[in-house]
Each structure stands twice: as structure tokens, then as C-alpha cells.
Structure 1
């Protein structure tokens, strides 16, 4: 992925992008990446999932190819013989404690990015919903944020994606529909004013398939999904990150 402007070049790579099955090719890829950054300075090199290069050098289970990649990366980051003042290297990992110490020590700052707080989670729910119709109030979004403590951004994304299917499920299982002011048929409860006992199959059989609309999302749709979804980050994971930050890093 590349972003270019008049004054800055940003290249983002995953550690897997630097691995080749051909002897010597991986080191060349690392060298070429830094050479390109130097020629295009000021530049930022962002290495995602740098934990793919995990393991201490010299470990018995470390392949020769991986050792060469790590050695070349260390040499290039050291910048011996080069003017790298305008080349900025960033990396991301979920397991900093598993990295070779020589690698993470090459980074002047080791910043801990914590899980999203309540305010951030509230905003994420809105962002992932986008233009999807919903009946949630600001207080409902605040409640969702409060109930998703320890959820990562990915957890919230998965939650919303699952919730987006709820109106489809409701429509498929509905036994009652009501005709809206726009002339569309929307699933409803049996006690709702104007409710007609029918199914989506019966409406489709009458040629009204194009006239069926999904109900807007409600907070109950979220509660239903959240009742079975758990955060993917454990308390022990957080404690490990905080311990690493206390010893070797700094808060973001």
C-alpha cells in the first residue's frame, strides 16, 4: 500500500511481504525497501505484524532464512553508512514480548496503544453502522459502549456485522407485516396497528417481493448479539502488555 504526497512517501508492508522462498531474496527485499525509502525521503516505513519475525536469534526452531531477514532488518535500521534522518520506521505488534530484543530496541519509542475507551467504542459503533437505518438514541450508544468493556476495534466491527443481519433474520421469520406510508411491507409484532398476518413467502408469491423492506436496527438487536459475543482480549493479555510497557515502553 502506498500513499504519496508532495512532501512525504509512506509505504506499509507486512512481515510476510518480506519473506521469499528463494535464497537471498528476502534480504534483498528488505534492502530494497530501505533503499527506496532513502531515495524518496522524507519517508515512513510501516511494518505491520512485525511479530511474524518473532523469536530470539539462535533459537533452535528459527530457520536460517528468518535469521537472515532479521539480521538484514537490524542492519538497515541501524543505518550504518546512510543518512537516515528523514526515514522514519514504524512497526505494529500484538506480542512485543515475543520479539527479538535486538529488534524492538532499535525503536526509540515503544508506545502502548490501549484498547478503545468508552468514548472511542461509542464512536466506532456509529462508524461501522454508517448509513444503516437504526432507532438508537445517544443514550443507547452510550449504553452499548459501557457494555463492551475490553472489546477491541475488531470485536466491535464483528459485532456490528453480525447485528446487520438481524433485520434479515427477523424479516425471514416474521409472521406479521405492516404496510408503511411508502407502500412497503415491514415485519412487525401482532399487536401493532395495521398488522397483517402473512409471511415473506406469501408476499413474494403475490409479486410483492420488491415491496418488502427491512426494519431499522434497534438496541435489542445489539443486546441479542452481545449476549453471545465475548471480547477476544483477555485480562491476562492486558496485564502482559502493561507489564511490558512498564518495563520497556511508554503509554500512548
Structure 2
């Protein structure tokens, strides 16, 4: 979607309205409103976001005017002309006048522009309305309106109310706290991942147990709401523990892509403010917004930086208040999902230092799973995923390379593949001048990666996780794990 496409659709909608094709105009207007609604979620600048919200409101108002014209025309078409009487008395009756039907009113000369001076649009005129003359009595007095006419007026009012309800349904669902918290809400809304991270389960090698648990915690309650009730209610919190580079953040992105829930990506900087009392207010607003946009997943990366153990000498008073508010809000999340999984709010957290997490937070994160280093099979899958866009020489043996990478994390394997893919290019440009490098053709740079390149890369890139670190993780998960 581009801004040019939105502009062209607005022009098309107004052309339809000017030509009297109001039904097509409303369809185009609705498409424009949906496009602006999607574009709003991708805008991070609060000033620009406010401007686009103003544009959305003005185009919505313009759509409402066109709908009112359609309602007026429909009320005309509903009126049936009176039939000609077989006989009438010239002294007491007059022949009723038939109203000429028109397919559309006079075309409006110009539709109001929504971008001019940010002023509300002027009301579109549907042309002069034809009025049926009412029958008069013998003395020239106006007679009472007929009951049928009252019914027609009531039906036109109900249609008008219905059209207004349709317009209100197309409005963007937005959390509006109002008051002094408006800026804080806008700060948190910028962290909603509404755009697709484009990471699927198949893009993550190995980690079958972790993927199975996340599907059970997020996806299945949406598919089987009658089953996940009572003691089988969805998990309120999941903690992913493991060495750096094993795919914890990648799993969170896959949840955002595959589960299609509202996804909040929260870091410690998001919930930190220099003003006293504002940090805990941000935490409270975060969970209120999560319940409003439910079903929701709140992902907190490196949660140990926010919720380390309380009572230590290095702990600040403000940090303690933020932890207390986070614990209170997490304990209150489950009430919204016990009876209705569609209102579920789940906290998904990741950490490399689980032993530093507060005990109360560890209790609230009911599922604690270990994300280990990739196995031999997982390393082969990781190599295939990393090298799927790279041309390999015939002598490349992925199984042999995977054996030599024992103890490497997923990030380490990716670094080895990246370094090996650059080896052929380094050999080709060695000794060339900058001018000769710029003049190299695409065919000359077409060089497959060989087994020797991987051997050289393995000598340069070492593993980043030590055996002592692995022992600490395994000891913690044995003591506190809940797979």
C-alpha cells in the first residue's frame, strides 16, 4: 500500500459521487478508510499519526454525507404515486398530482476537499426535493397527513439511523483513556506490532517442544474455547530461558505472525520515565490496553533487566515500585480469560539470566521452558535455512559442517554461513583497484561457495556459549523448569 494509491482512491470516490453513482462512491470511500486504518498502525511519529487521524475523520465525514444522499434517494423511490380515481367530484376533490421520478439528483458541482484548512466538510446537497402537494378540503384548508405518509417518514428515519450505525462500525477501534494519559497511550501504541514480522514456524529450525507449547498457550484456546475453561484455562505467562542466540526472540516473532493476535513488543526503555510515578502508570496502561485489544500477547524481552530480585542493595525505590505494579497487573490478567479465551492476555518473556529474576515473577510465569543449543539435526536444518538463497559448490557437505559446529548457537551458525558466503568475493577482488571493482560484471561475481570456504569460516568464528554457562542453565531449569 502506498500514499499514491490512497490519493488515487480518494479521487475515484469523489468522481463517482460527482457523477451520481453514490453506491460505487461509498464502496471506494470504505476502501480508503480501511487503507488509512492499516497505514495508521505503521506510523510511529505521533505528530504524523495525529494528522492521518484527522484525514481519516474528514473522509469519514465525507462518506457520511454521501450515505445521507443515498438515504434521501431511497426515501423518494419508496414513495408510490397515488392511483387515478375512477370518478371524482369536481366540487369537493382535486386530481392528485403525480411526482416525476428521477434516477439521480442534479450532480453536485464539487465535493468538499478533506485536506483544506482542517475544517469540517460542508454538507453535500442532493438537489431540490420534489414535494407532493397535499389534498385540500372544500374550504381550501390543508387536510391531515395520511397514516401511510407517517409510516414512510418513520422508515426513512430508521434507514438514516442504520446508515449512521454502519458508519460508526467502520471507525478504528482505538484505546482512548483521555485526560493527561493521552501521551503515554500514544507512546505505548507505537510498540504494538501490527505489521507482519513475517517469521513462520517453518523458519525456526528444531525447538519443536517450544513451538508446541506456544501453540498450545496461544493458538488452541482461540480454536477450542469450550475446552480451555476452568482448570484448563490458558496459561497467563510463559518464560523462555536459554543462552543468547538460540531463537527466543525469533519464537516471539513467529507468535506474532502465526497466531494473529495483537502483539505488544515491550522493552525496559518503553516502561521507563524520568518523572516520578509515570513508570508504574505506563505498566498499568499497558495491561489496560492489552485487555482492550484482546486477545493479546505481551512480549517482554530481557525481562531480568526490569524484574531483578527485590531487596538488593543496588535496587532503587522507583524500580521497586515498577516491579510491584507489574506483578499486580500480571496477577490480574487471568480474570479476563478464564471464561472467554477470546479476551485472553498472555505475557511472553525471554531472558538469558533466569537466576536474577524475582521469585514472585517466576511464580506468575507459569510455564518456564528451556531453549537449548541446536541439536545435530537442528544444526543441519539451520544451515539449510541460512543457505537457501546461496549457490553451493558440489563438494559442500552440510552434515559434516554441522558435526564441526557442535556447541554453536543459532546466531553463531548464521555468522559462519554469512562469513563463508563472502569468501569467494574476497578472493575475486583481492589486489584490484576501486575502479576495477566497480567495473566487475554480474557474471564475474557469480561464484558458488565451496567447502573450503566453510572450513575457513569455522576457524574464524568461534562458539559464543561456554560449557560452564550451559551447566548453569541446565541446573536452573532442573530446579525451576515447568515444560
Fold shared by both chains (TM-score > 0.5): yes
Q: Judge which range, 215-224 or 73-82, deviates more.
A: 73-82
Structure with larger Rg: 2
2:298 pairs with 1:41: no
2:193 pairs with 1:2: yes
Which residue number corresponds to residue 236 of structure 1? 468
Superposed CA deviations along residues 78-109 of structure 1, whole A, max 9, x for unmatched, are 10895344111111111111111111111111
> Aligned equivalents of 1:136 and 1:77: distance in 2?
54
2:459 pairs with 1:227: yes
Superposed CA deviations along residues 109-135 of structure 1, whole A, max 9, x for unmatched, are 111111111122112122222312221
Kindly tell me: are residues 208 and 15 of structure 1, through their superposed partners in 2, closer, same or farther at Cα, counting changes over 3 Å?
Answer: closer
- The CA RMSD measured in Å over matched residues stands at 2.7
Offset of residue 49 of structure 1: 1.1
Which residue number corresponds to residue 62 of structure 1? 315
Which residue number corresponds to residue 79 of structure 1? 332
For structure 2, which runs of at least 5 residues remain unmatched after alignment?
Answer: 1-191, 195-255, 339-343
SS in 2 for 1:227: helix
Which residue number corresponds to residue 209 of structure 1? 440
| Residues matched between the structures, number | 224
The structure in which a higher percent of residues are strand is 1
Superposed CA deviations along residues 170-209 of structure 1, whole A, max 9, x for unmatched, are 1123xxxxxxxxxxxxxxxxxxxxxxxxx6459939x962
| Contact kept in structure 2, 1:16 and 1:52, CA below 8 Å | no
Match of 2:351 among 93, 105, 130: 93
For structure 1, which runs of at least 5 residues remain unmatched after alignment?
Answer: 174-198
Match of 1:150 among 407, 424, 442: 407
Matches within 5 A, 1:3-22: 3=194, 8-22=261-275
TM-score norm. by structure 2 comes to 0.43
SS in 2 for 1:132: coil
Kindly tell me: are residues 8 and 54 of structure 1, through their superposed partners in 2, closer, same or farther at Cα, counting changes over 3 Å?
Answer: closer
Higher RCO by CA contacts (8 Å cutoff, separation 6 or greater): 1
SS in 1 for 2:270: helix
> Aligned equivalents of 1:92 and 1:240: distance in 2?
16
> Aligned equivalents of 1:80 and 1:204: distance in 2?
63
Kindly tell me: are residues 157 and 136 of structure 1, through their superposed partners in 2, closer, same or farther at Cα, counting changes over 3 Å?
Answer: farther
> Aligned equivalents of 1:145 and 1:30: distance in 2?
44
